[in-house]
């Protein structure tokens, strides 16, 4: 089960070169459903699992987003109606030598208290048979920072475990999560200090455990790989070298694969390895496309 409070219809295209004050002729756009939890659910589906995605949706863009999600073999979308318009995001890739990727992300609609409660209640009611609830992505304007702590408190006792992939105040106010996946910058923000080496990062991560935020930290280190930190152990995993076509959805792919592996009874260590393979596989795909199962399996086998 995933929760995406700020979903988007992701539009991606290419142009020869991005220059100011010129009309930029673009290729035919591709439209994909987007937002952290939605991406997680899509990857779980692509890797052979089953997921239900809960998200608010409003206006024509919300209907277009819902339409793009229908038809997945193991993906069940559940849209909570809202008065506002679902946001769009826009990604442009340059074709020219030395090309760059440009990502434009809009803030999203305001959610009323009733609409927000409806999203949380939908997850709590529908997650009874789920192994994990993954709350992922940015928050729309005005959503209280303790939203994921509220979600965790609403989950049935002995039911699904909570995974949170967020940032800023929403991550700082999280309580009772099973696993979080901060970047180094986010962990430093939570710790309130620079974390120059592995020892400092382990201390900071275990401080979050003492504060009741989470049981496990998977620290994303970009080109330096990732660290798995629990109360008893720590391990750093090197990055899987692949040519990068797009960074969109790499973190979501990693979270999805970890959640799926854990739901199948794998150890956290194996889950992180599988997650890193999925994240690397997403880097191979252009625009807003996510990882492919055959790429994940190949990279996991050789990592």
Task: Write out the catalytic residue numbers.
Answer: 252
Lookup: tokens for 8: 């988007």
Both structure tokens of 2: 């995933």
Element (H, E) at 124: helix 113-126
Q: How far is Cα 83 from Cα 184, in angstroms, rounded to an integer?
A: 37
Identify which of 223, 289, 245 has the alpha carbon closest to the alpha carbon of residue 100.
Answer: 245
**Of the candidates 37, 4, 49, which has an alpha carbon nearest to the alpha carbon of residue 293?**
49
Q: Tokens at residue 178, please?
A: 């099973």
User: What angle (nearest 5°) sits at the alpha carbon of residue 281, between those of residues 89 and 41?
Assistant: 55
SS3 state of residue 128: coil
The CA distances from residue 198 to 71, 155, 171, 232, in Å, are 44, 34, 21, 15
User: What's 228's DSSP letter?
Assistant: E
Sign of CA dihedral 81, 291, 10, 162: positive
Give backbone dihedrals phi and psi of 93, rounded to 5 degrees, phi first: -105, 135
């Amino acid at each position: 089960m995933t929760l995406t409070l700020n979903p988007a219809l992701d539009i991606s295209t290419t142009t020869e070169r991005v220059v100011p004050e010129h009309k930029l002729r673009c290729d035919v756009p591709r439209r994909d459903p987007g937002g952290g939890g939605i991406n997680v659910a899509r990857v779980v589906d692509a890797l052979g699992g089953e997921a239900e995605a809960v998200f608010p949706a409003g206006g024509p863009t919300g209907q277009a987003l819902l339409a793009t999600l229908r038809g997945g073999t193991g993906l069940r979308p559940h849209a909570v109606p809202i008065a506002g318009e679902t946001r769009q995001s826009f990604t442009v890739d340059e074709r020219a030598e030395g090309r760059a990727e440009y990502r434009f992300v809009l803030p999203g609609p305001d959610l009323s208290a009733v609409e927000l409660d409806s999203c949380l209640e939908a997850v709590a009611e529908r997650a009874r048979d789920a192994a994990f609830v993954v709350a992922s992505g940015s928050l729309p304007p005005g959503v209280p920072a303790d939203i994921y702590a509220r979600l965790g408190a609403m989950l049935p006792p002995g039911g699904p475990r909570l995974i949170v992939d967020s940032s800023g105040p929403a991550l700082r106010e999280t309580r009772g999560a099973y696993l979080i996946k901060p970047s180094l910058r986010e962990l430093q923000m939570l710790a309130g200090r620079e974390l120059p080496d592995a020892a400092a990062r382990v201390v900071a991560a275990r401080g979050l455990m003492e504060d009741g935020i989470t049981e496990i930290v998977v620290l994303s280190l970009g080109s330096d790989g990732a660290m798995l930190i629990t109360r008893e152990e720590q391990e750093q995993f090197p990055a899987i070298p692949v040519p990068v076509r797009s960074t969109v959805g790499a973190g979501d792919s990693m979270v999805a694969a970890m959640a799926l592996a854990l739901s199948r009874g794998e150890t956290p260590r194996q889950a992180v390895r599988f997650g890193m393979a999925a994240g690397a596989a997403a880097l191979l795909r252009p625009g807003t496309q996510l990882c492919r199962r055959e790429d994940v399996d190949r990279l996991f086998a050789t990592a």
